């Protein structure tokens, strides 16, 4: 299935597929103008209006698989997958600081997690690998380090997290129990409970499981799936800072994330 769009290789896209798209848009109450099989500005505007109306489609003017499926033009809403193209060599070039043995051990569970949540398209695969570059550059699930941001002077480890109500923590020892873990550094009792329920693992009562490779892959994929539309909207604008903030809540690791993402774009 091809994506229908305003311009392809510098020329207007035309043909029977475009005409079918135009008729489907008109039938749904989004008239593109003349049904002429030419993807002009009227069709582009109609596609964007339809996408905005649906509420859960990326508003990009591209009639890709998800938009076409919603219009009843195809039964398959799957985006083109690139997850099978991510080799150890490509991951190593994206994350030059990671050991090959760690990539070999952790790439398969990461891809399995992404596949489970249907995030096998290029943008989300690059988002996942870029996130690992920013969070756990060694490409393996790890515990959060003690730092001045989570531990007070002469305080017990992670005491500054103990009473973080925004994380759902309820006092000692929640800070240490629900410190950052995994590929994405999942943090806080509420996140362990919520994400755990979504992936079918009792992380609230067994937080150490967040560092199991297979579980860590599901956690990262689940977190990205929950923010998929907003992440893709940011990436569409090449707004890497916002894409990163949607995952991390700030700008930590932005340079590493952006570098890995851009390297991956050239490799895939």
Q: Report phi then psi at 63, rounded to 5.
A: -90, 75
Q: Is the peptide bond before 173 cis (omega within 30 degrees of 0)?
A: yes
b/e per residue 238-252 (b: at least 16 CB within 10 A):
eebeebbbbbbeeee
| 3-state DSSP percent of the chain in helix, strand and coil, to 5 | 55, 5, 40
**138: burial class by Cβ within 10 Å (0-12, 13-18, 19+)?**
middle
Residue 160: its pLDDT value, please?
Answer: 98
What are the pLDDT tens digits along the chain (268 aa)? 789 898 888 888 899 999 999 999 999 999 999 999 999 999 999 999 999 999 999 999 999 999 999 999 999 998 889 988 999 999 999 999 999 999 999 999 999 999 999 999 999 999 999 999 999 888 999 999 999 999 999 999 999 999 999 999 999 999 999 999 999 999 999 999 999 999 999 999 999 999 999 999 999 999 999 999 999 999 999 999 999 999 988 888 999 999 999 999 999 8
Q: Are 80 and 121 in contact (CB under 8 A)?
A: yes
**113: burial class by Cβ within 10 Å (0-12, 13-18, 19+)?**
buried
Q: State the Cα–Cα distance between residues 182 and 54, nearest whole angstrom.
A: 34
Residue 248: its pLDDT value, please?
Answer: 85
Retrieve residue 56's tokens.
């859960």
Residue 191: its pLDDT value, please?
Answer: 97
Retrieve residue 133's tokens.
């570059």
Residue 83: its pLDDT value, please?
Answer: 86
CATH number of 7-70: 1.10.101.10
Retrieve residue 154's tokens.
């002469």
For the chain, residues classed under CATH 1.10.101.10 are: 7-70
Q: State the Cα–Cα distance between residues 40 and 258, nearest whole angstrom.
A: 33
DSSP state of 142: E
Q: State the Cα–Cα distance between residues 190 and 123, nearest whole angstrom.
A: 28
Q: Are 263 and 125 in contact (CB under 8 A)?
A: no
Of residues 179, 180, 175, 181, the one with CA closest to residue 156: 175
pTM of the entire predicted model: 0.88
Residue 12: its pLDDT value, please?
Answer: 84
Retrieve residue 114's tokens.
């992404």
Retrieve residue 55's tokens.
């509420």
Residue 8: its pLDDT value, please?
Answer: 80
Residue 255: its pLDDT value, please?
Answer: 96
Residue 250: its pLDDT value, please?
Answer: 83
């Amino acid at each position: 299935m091809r994506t229908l769009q305003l311009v392809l290789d510098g020329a207007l896209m035309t043909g029977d597929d475009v005409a079918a798209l135009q008729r489907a848009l008109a039938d749904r109450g989004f008239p593109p103008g003349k049904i002429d099989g030419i993807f002009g500005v009227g069709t582009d505007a109609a596609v964007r209006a339809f996408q905005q109306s649906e509420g859960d489609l990326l508003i990009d003017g591209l009639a890709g698989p998800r938009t076409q499926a919603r219009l009843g033009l195809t039964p398959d809403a799957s985006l083109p997958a690139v997850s099978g193209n991510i080799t150890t060599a490509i991951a190593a070039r994206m994350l030059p600081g990671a050991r090959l043995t760690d990539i070999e051990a952790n790439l398969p569970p990461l891809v399995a997690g992404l596949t489970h949540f249907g995030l096998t398209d290029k943008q989300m695969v690059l988002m996942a690998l870029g996130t690992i570059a920013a969070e756990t550059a060694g490409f393996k699930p790890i515990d959060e380090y003690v730092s001045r941001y989570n531990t007070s002077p002469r305080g017990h480890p992670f005491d500054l997290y103990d009473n973080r109500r925004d994380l759902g923590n309820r006092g000692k020892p929640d800070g240490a129990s629900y410190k950052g873990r995994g590929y994405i550094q999942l943090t806080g009792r509420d996140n362990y409970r919520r994400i755990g329920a979504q992936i079918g693992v009792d992380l609230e009562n067994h937080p150490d499981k967040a560092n199991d490779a297979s579980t860590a892959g599901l956690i990262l994929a689940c977190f990205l799936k929950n923010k998929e539309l907003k992440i893709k909207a940011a990436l569409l604008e090449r707004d890497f800072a916002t894409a990163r903030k949607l995952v991390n809540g700030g700008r930590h690791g932005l340079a590493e994330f952006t570098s890995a993402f851009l390297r991956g774009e050239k490799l895939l």
